[in-house]
Amino acid sequence: MKRPRNRSYVLTMSSSTMKSLSYVSKKNSFYDRMDVREQFSKTIPQIAKDHFCLGLNPAKSCLAVGPGDGLFEIEFFKHIMPDLKSLTAVEPCPQSAAELRHNLQRHMSNVDSVVHEKTIQEFMRESRHGGQSYDAILIFHVFYYINGEDRAIMCRSLFGDLLRPGGTLVVQHACKRSSDNLTLCDLLNPSHGIPSYEDMKAEALKVGFEFDVEFEFPVALDCRDPDDLLLAFFSYLVRKEITMDKFKTAVSSLSPDWQLRNSYMIGMFRTSGVEHACK
């Protein structure tokens, strides 16, 4: 795993400066400390070996929710959805949306793509009467930022409006049973409640999705020499300003070596309508 970059400014930012940091800079600091891209790249080819059983190989259209720069989704498309013809992405952050457009043009120029700079809630309201539906919907690490009521509404809309019969919902999310990151969030702000993959799976099944298959892979977060950007990211995530002392105390209680071990799950759920070829 790469060591964190540019740590010379640790504890130099004021509270007001930390609040003004862009979401992208906070998120990038978090991902710079993780091996998630490497682990994801190892996992996707394994999934691809069984993709004929997932109902995704013939998918022609897809909705990607909150893809950020889109690099995870692009790798998923190339291995799992090679016949994709059209992509609709909903990304509310202007900086991320610009990076996403660049990456789509660079890596998927053969796919007809459109990027909407709005929240998924806004997109769902505007799409409610538009009749547009998709063969697949990808939601990678988005549900952490959506409150419980909106998550339930979102799942119902995905199931009833946005996915075609036989369509597949793909969720990538951290597992509660084995993710130090979620435990850390609970320690930093017990009242907020960050949803886990298990929570999202239960929500999907509740609204009528059928469970298909899931894949688990390990990731680690290097919390050595924590800086203000990492602190700002977790403060944003738990909706509470966190002091460096509190952050260090919470991390050290979870891992003496300051390496937080996590498990991420890629889960696939489908609407009724089409039986998979392997069943």
Return the H-helix or E-strand segment holding 30: helix 23-32
pLDDT (tens digit, 9 = 90+) per residue, 244-271? 999 999 999 999 999 999 999 999 999 8
CATH superfamily of 34-182+192-223+260-270: Vaccinia Virus protein VP39 (3.40.50.150)
Q: What is the dihedral of CA 2, 4, 6, 10, to 10 degrees?
A: -170
For β-strands 61-65 and 86-90, DSSP reports them as: parallel
Torsion of CA 230, 171, 100, 59, to 10 degrees: 170
State how far Cα 26 lies from the chain centre.
15
Residue 273 confidence (pLDDT): 63
Contacts (Cβ under 8 Å, ≥6 apart) of 194: 144, 182, 185, 186, 237, 238
129 confidence band (pLDDT: 50, 70, 90): low
Which of the pair, 215 or 17, is modelled with greater confidence? 215
d(C-alpha 243, C-alpha 231), whole Å: 8
Please state which of the ranges 22-26, 36-40, 86-90, 105-109 shows the lowest mean pLDDT: 22-26
SS3 245: helix
User: Using one digit for the tens of pLDDT, what is the confidence trace for 64-120?
Assistant: 999 999 999 999 999 999 899 999 999 999 999 999 999 999 999 999 999 999 998
For residues 186 and 265, the answer to whether their CB atoms sit within 8 Å is no
Q: Three-state DSSP class for 219?
A: strand
Q: Domain-by-domain residue ranges, the chain?
A: 34-182+192-223+260-270
Please give the Cα distance from 155 to 8 (Å, whole number): 43
